[in-house]
Amino acid sequence: MSEKSVLVIGAGVTGIQAALDVANQGIKTYLVEKTPSVGGHMAQLDKTFPTLDCSACILTPKMVDVARHPNIELLTYSEVKEVSGAAGDFTVKIETKPRYIDATKCTGCGHCALHCPVEVLNDFDENIGVRRAIYVPFPQAVPLVYTIDMDNCIECELCKNICEAEAVNFDQESEEIEVNVGSIILATGYDLFDATKLKNYGYGSYDNVLSSLEFERLLSASGPAGGHVFRLSDGKIPRRIAFLQCVGSRDTEHGMPYCSRVCCMYAIKNAILAKDHIHGGCETTIFYIDVRAFGKGFEEFYQNSQIRFGVKFVRGKVGEIAEDVDTNNLIVRVEDTETGQLFEDEFDMVVLSSGLVPSQGSAEINKILNLPIDQYGFFEELNRISPVDTKIEGVYMAGVCESVKDIPDGVGQASAAAMRASLKAI
C-alpha cells in the first residue's frame, strides 16, 4: 500500500464513489460523514431517472463496499475540525460525536428503538415520518449502528436495560483523531432550495404543497407511507397532482439564477411514479419553462412519459397557488405560453421541483478551508480543463458541491477527483 492517504469529506454517493476509486488503487482512504450513516440524499430517493431503477438497491451495495473495504476507514457521525499543511502533507483533525452506543457491540437488531418512548420527526423522511430518540436513519443504514439523539432523549434508560448486547453507554464522549493525508476530496453535496422563500407558492402554509424530497419519501417503499402516496392534510389519495418547475432556479429575484439541471428529469420521473403507485389513476401535469432532458436516455424518457404514461406538460411558470380552505385543494394560476391563455386549475396536491443549493456542510467545511467559492457558494474550479481541482492544490471536489449535476455525472466526477487525489498520495 502507498505511504500516503487521502481524505474524502462527505459520504453521499459521490463521496462513496471517490473513496472506492482511491482505495481500489491501494491507497488508504479516510471517509468522513457527519450524519450517522453514509448514503446522502440518494438514499432518500425511491427510483432514479432515466432508468427507473431502485435507488436504494443500487446504492446499498456501494455503501456496504465502503464499510468493508480494507483500505477505507469509515468515520461516520464525524466532522473535520481543522486542516493545516499543504498538498502532499495535510494534517487533519476529525471529531467523532458520541452515539452513546458502543459500535463494536451494537448488532443493529433494533430492539431498543421498539421500546424507546420518545417519538421525534424523522429528518430522513423530510419530517413527514417519525423515528425514536434512539434510531438508525433508515433500515439499510451503514454502519448499522444505532445512535441516541441526545437533544430529545429523556434518559429513561429503557434502551440500556433492553439491549442484550449491552451496547448502550450514556457516558460515551466525543473522540478526536489526527490524520495525515496527501490530498483531500470534497463531496459535501447539496441542500434543497427552501421554498418558503416563495410566498406565492404557499409551501410551509398549505398542507398539500410538498417539496420534491417530501414527495420522494412518500413514494419510497421504505418511507413513512410505505410507498402509498397520500395527502398530508387528510390522508386521502391525490388524483390530480401538479409539478411546478424552476422553483428557486432560473430565478433572479427570489431564488438562484442558475439552472438546477436535475429538476426537469426528476419531476418527469416522479410524475410517472405517482401514476404507477396510485391505484385507480392519477393525473399529473408538469408546468415548465423548458424541458431540460439533455443526458443519455433523457430525451427518450421524456418522450415516453407522454406517450406511454400520459404525463401532461404545460408551458408556463406558475404565478400563484391558492388554497381552498374547505378541501385543502390547491388552485394553480398560470399563463399557458403556448396558447397565451391565463387560467386556473385545481389540484389535490402540488409538488414543487425545488432547486439544489450548496449545502450547509459545504459552508461549514469552507470555514476551515477558505476555498474560493462562486457567488452561489459552489467551490470554484481551477480552470476549464481542470473541473475537479479547487483553487488550493491538493484539494479536489466532486458532485454537487462543485455545481449541480445528476447521479451519473456526480459518480463520474467522483472518479475524476479520485484520479487527481491519487497523484498526491503515491
Partner 1 sequence: MVETKEIIKETECEFEPKIIGFLCNWCSYAGADLAGTSRVQYPPNIRIVRVMCTGRLDPQLILNTFRYGADGVLIAGCHEGDCHYIGGNYRAYRKYILLKEFVKRMGINEKRLRLEWVSASEGERFAKVVREMVDNIKEIGPSPFGVTITGGVVEDEPEPKI
Partner 2 sequence: MEEEPRIGVFICNCGINIGGVVNVEEVAEYATTLPNVVVSRSSLYTCSDRGQGMIKDDIDEFKLNRVVVASCSPRMHEPTFRKVVEEKGLNKYVFEQANLREHVSWVHSKQPEEATEKAKDLVRMAVAKARLLESLPQHLVDVKGEALVIGGGISGLTAAKSIADRGFKVHLVEKTPNFGGKMAQLYKVYPTFDDPQELLNPLVENIMAHPNIVPYLSAEIADIEGYIGNYRAIIREQTEEKEIEFGTIIVATGFNAYDPTGEFNYGKHQNILTILELHQLMKADGPTQGNLVTPAEGKPPRSIALISCVGSRQNENTVPEGKKPNVYCSRVCCTGMIATSMEIKEKASDADIFVLYRDLRTHGKGHEELFSEFRQTGSTMIRYTDDLLPMVSITQGAEYPLSVTSYDSLSGLNVEIPVDLVVLATGMIPDDSASNIASKLHITMSADGFFQELHPKLAPLDSVTDGVYLAGTAQGPKDVPDSVSQSLGAAAKACAPMALGQVEVESTISVIDEDFCTGCGVCQGSCEFSAIVFEERPEGKRVSKVIEALCKGCGTCGSSCPSAAITMLHFKDAQLDAMVKAALSRSPGG
Q: Which residues bind partner 1 (CB under 8 A)?
A: 46-47, 51, 53-57, 60, 139-140, 221-222, 226-227
Question: In whole angstroms, what is the distance from residue 140 CA to residue 221 CA?
Answer: 13
CB of 191 to partner 1, least distance (A): 25
CB of 290 to partner 2, least distance (A): 4
Q: Taking a C-beta distance cutoff of 8 angstroms, is the pair 256, 357 a contact?
A: yes
Choose among partner 2, partner 1, none what residue 295 binds, the Cβ cut-off being 5 to 8 Å by kind.
Answer: partner 2
Question: Which residue in 3, 339, 344, 363 binds partner 2 (CB under 8 A)?
Answer: 339
Choose among partner 1, partner 2, none what residue 46 binds, the Cβ cut-off being 5 to 8 Å by kind.
Answer: partner 1
CB under 8 A: which stretch of 45-53, 153-161, 187-195, 272-280 binds partner 2?
45-53
Question: In whole angstroms, what is the distance from residue 334 CA to residue 345 CA?
Answer: 8
CB of 184 to partner 1, least distance (A): 33
Residue 383 engages partner 2 in binding (rule: CB under 8 A):
yes
Q: What is the DSSP letter of 168?
A: B
Q: What is the DSSP letter of 167?
A: -
Pairing type for strands 130-132 and 119-121 reads antiparallel
Q: Taking a C-beta distance cutoff of 8 angstroms, is the pair 73, 23 a contact?
A: no
Residue 310 engages partner 2 in binding (rule: CB under 8 A):
no
Q: What is the DSSP letter of 149?
A: -
Tell me the CB-side half-sphere exposure of residue 79, using CA atoms within 13 A: 15
Contact set for partner 2, span 83-102 (CB under 8 A): none
Q: Is 292 left (phi over 0), alpha (psi -120 to 50) or beta?
A: beta
Length of the chain: 426
- Indicate the residue among 38 and 407 with the shorter CB distance to partner 2: 407
CB of 188 to partner 2, least distance (A): 17
In sequence order, the β-bridge partners of residue 181 are 90
Choose among partner 2, partner 1, none what residue 33 binds, the Cβ cut-off being 5 to 8 Å by kind.
Answer: none
- Indicate the residue among 107 and 127 with the shorter CB distance to partner 2: 107
Secondary structure of residue 197 in the 3-state scheme: helix
Residue 117 engages partner 2 in binding (rule: CB under 8 A):
no
- Indicate the residue among 46 and 381 with the shorter CB distance to partner 1: 46
Choose among partner 1, partner 2, none what residue 250 binds, the Cβ cut-off being 5 to 8 Å by kind.
Answer: partner 2
CB of 40 to partner 1, least distance (A): 17
Q: Which of 334, 313, 312 is nearest to 322 (CA)?
A: 334
Contact set for partner 2, span 247-306 (CB under 8 A): 250, 252, 257-259, 261, 290-300, 303
Residue 52 engages partner 2 in binding (rule: CB under 8 A):
no
Choose among partner 1, partner 2, none what residue 392 binds, the Cβ cut-off being 5 to 8 Å by kind.
Answer: none
- Indicate the residue among 63 and 350 with the shorter CB distance to partner 1: 63
Secondary structure of residue 346 in the 3-state scheme: strand
- Indicate the residue among 235 and 340 with the shorter CB distance to partner 2: 340
Q: Which of 260, 254, 127, 126 is nearest to 197 (CA)?
A: 254
CB of 57 to partner 1, least distance (A): 4
Residues near partner 2 (CB under 8 A), total: 72
- Indicate the residue among 54 and 331 with the shorter CB distance to partner 1: 54
Choose among partner 1, partner 2, none what residue 222 binds, the Cβ cut-off being 5 to 8 Å by kind.
Answer: partner 1
Burial 189-216 (b: 16+ CB within 10 A, else e): bbbbbebeebeebbbeebebbbbbbbbb
Question: In whole angstroms, what is the distance from residue 390 CA to residue 397 CA?
Answer: 7
Cα torsion 380, 383, 388, 393: sign: negative
Contact set for partner 2, span 167-196 (CB under 8 A): none
Q: Which of 346, 93, 388 is nearest to 242 (CA)?
A: 346
CB of 340 to partner 2, least distance (A): 7
Contact set for partner 2, span 54-83 (CB under 8 A): 58, 61-62, 68
Amino acid type, 256? M
All residues at 6 or more sequence positions from 119 whose CB lies less than 8 Å from its CB, including other chains = 130, 131, 132
Residue 28 engages partner 2 in binding (rule: CB under 8 A):
no
- Indicate the residue among 87 and 237 with the shorter CB distance to partner 1: 237
33 Cα distance to chain centroid: 13
Choose among partner 2, partner 1, none what residue 235 binds, the Cβ cut-off being 5 to 8 Å by kind.
Answer: none
Question: In whole angstroms, what is the distance from residue 53 CA to residue 48 CA?
Answer: 6
Binding mask 146-165 for partner 2 (x = CB under 8 A): ------------------xx
Q: Taking a C-beta distance cutoff of 8 angstroms, is the pair 328, 207 a contact?
A: yes
